[in-house]
Amino acid sequence: MAGSLAIIIILGLLMNELFEKIKFPGLLGMLILGVVIGPYGINLIDTGVLNISSDLRKIALIVILIRAGLGISTKELKTVGSSAVKLSFIPGIMEGFTIAFISIKILGFSFIQGGILGFIIAAVSPAVVVPQMLDLMNNKLGTNKSIPTLIITGASIDDVFAITIFTTFLGLYSGSHINISMKLLGIPVSILFGILLGLIIGMIIIKIFKVYDIESTKKVLIVLGLAILLTILEDRLKDIVAVASLLGVMTMGFIIREKSPDLSNILSNGFNHIWTFAQILLFVLVGAQVNTSVAFASGFKGLIIICIGLLARSIGVLISVKGTNLNYKERLFCVISYTPKATVQAAIGSIPLATGVESGDVMLAIAVLAILFTAPIGALGIKLSCKRFLVQE
């Protein structure tokens, strides 16, 4: 296992550096590396690492969202307010239901099967999007209109809607007695609980660090540990109440920045260093989940479904930013930024097959194809368009 981690780290750093030198996103190089050295490639990654892959990816995602929270101010949130709320559900719902309906025609699915597939595909990938938005914030690109904050906030909640509606369709397929209205009501409840828990934990952290003199590195590790526990709490409470724990993690960072700027600076520096390591694990292991032979098995039909879904999502993004002060280039940038898919599709794409859903193998193939198709295009699109479409302060 140690040898596999060494290979991932060394080759990951090299691929990141190589792709950045040729003006491509470094994460793209790490994703490709994961595909090549993963179990569906030349198989250099030990099964022990693959067995804990989902936990390692979750920790890396937590690091991203803490950094995102530490980078967002109240002023920016007020600026993006209603647009961020609309971005969090309109594009995903439009994409999910569009795929649900066209799957009936193209694949011969029932509406429920189409809904399962639609909301596997519908989730945008914060793992791909958020790091690039943080880079834009550091470089003051688009910050004059808080565009990176708008996209970070919307993308962080987008997954909550997609996963909730996916589980609803899955329950309907299995014949479970599901109260759809209660499920939909559970979405804002989970968001509120996530924000509330993040707020409480963030305030506790501030109080503890004011009372006790703790060195900077330990402060970073304590915050990371509490953020991981918050996500575990979501699993423990899921039968009682839904909690959007990843949104809570981001709220922790946000409240620390607002109430204790000095502590925020310390944590930002620490998590920036951790991210150097975490991003390698995240993107290489996401790539390692991709079975290219399964992806290509979905063929041309799968690609058509993904493209039509992306078109519906793009219309949803444009509807969400309608009435804002964004010009047409900035709106187009928002459309591009909402393209990448990776983490959610890697996490839930195999669930229908595992639970005995008819054509679950087709759903998995299209989910994997969505990662292969949209993650590179989206990441590259953000990289190439940001300087052309956004204003630098």
Stretch among 24-28, 105-109, 113-117 having the lowest mean pLDDT: 24-28
For the record, the structure tokens of 248 come out as 């809570």
pLDDT over 70 for what percent of the chain?
Answer: 96
For the record, the structure tokens of 195 come out as 């924000």
User: What CATH class is the domain 53-389?
Assistant: mainly alpha
Per-residue pLDDT band at 389 (split at 50, 70, 90): very high
For the ranges 94-108, 141-155, 174-188, 203-217, the one whose mean pLDDT is highest:
94-108
Statement: residue 49 has pLDDT above 70: yes
Contact 251, 194 (CB under 8 A): yes
Choose among 73, 135, 142: nearest CA to 272.
135
The residue ranges of every structural domain in the chain are 53-389
Kindly write down the DSSP assignment for every residue of 123-160, as one continuous string: ---HHHHHHHHHHHHHTTBSGGGTHHHHHHHHHHHHHH
Residue 259, Cα to own-chain centre: how many angstroms? 27
Q: Could you tell me the maximum CA-CA distance found in the chain, to the nearest angstrom?
A: 64
Contact 253, 68 (CB under 8 A): yes
User: What do you get for the CA distance between the two ends of the chain, in Å?
Assistant: 46
Per-residue pLDDT band at 288 (split at 50, 70, 90): confident
- Which pLDDT belongs to residue 201? 93
Q: What tens digit of pLDDT does each residue of 322-360 get?
A: 988 899 999 999 999 999 988 788 778 888 888 888 888
Stretch among 37-46, 60-69, 73-82 having the lowest mean pLDDT: 73-82
Higher per-residue confidence, 294 vs 255: 255
Beta bridge partners of 392: 141
Contact 245, 231 (CB under 8 A): yes
Contact 70, 257 (CB under 8 A): yes
Contacts of 200 (CB under 8 A, 6+ apart): none
State whether residue 73 is helix, strand or coil. coil
Q: What sign does the dihedral 120-124-126-129 (CA atoms) show?
A: positive
- Which pLDDT belongs to residue 295? 74
Choose among 106, 60, 57: nearest CA to 305.
106
- Span 209-219, average pLDDT: 89
- Phi, psi (deg, nearest 5) at residue 324: -90, 175
- Which pLDDT belongs to residue 310? 96
- Which pLDDT belongs to residue 178? 61
Stretch among 191-200, 238-247, 314-323 having the lowest mean pLDDT: 238-247
For the ranges 149-153, 241-245, 335-339, 349-353, the one whose mean pLDDT is highest:
335-339
Average pLDDT, the chain: 87
For the record, the structure tokens of 208 come out as 């503890």
Residues 196 and 213: their CA atoms lie apart, in Å, by 27
- Which pLDDT belongs to residue 267? 92
Q: How far is CA 249 from CA 29, 91, 138, 230, 256, in A?
A: 28, 23, 21, 7, 11
- Predicted model pTM: 0.81
- Span 14-33, average pLDDT: 87
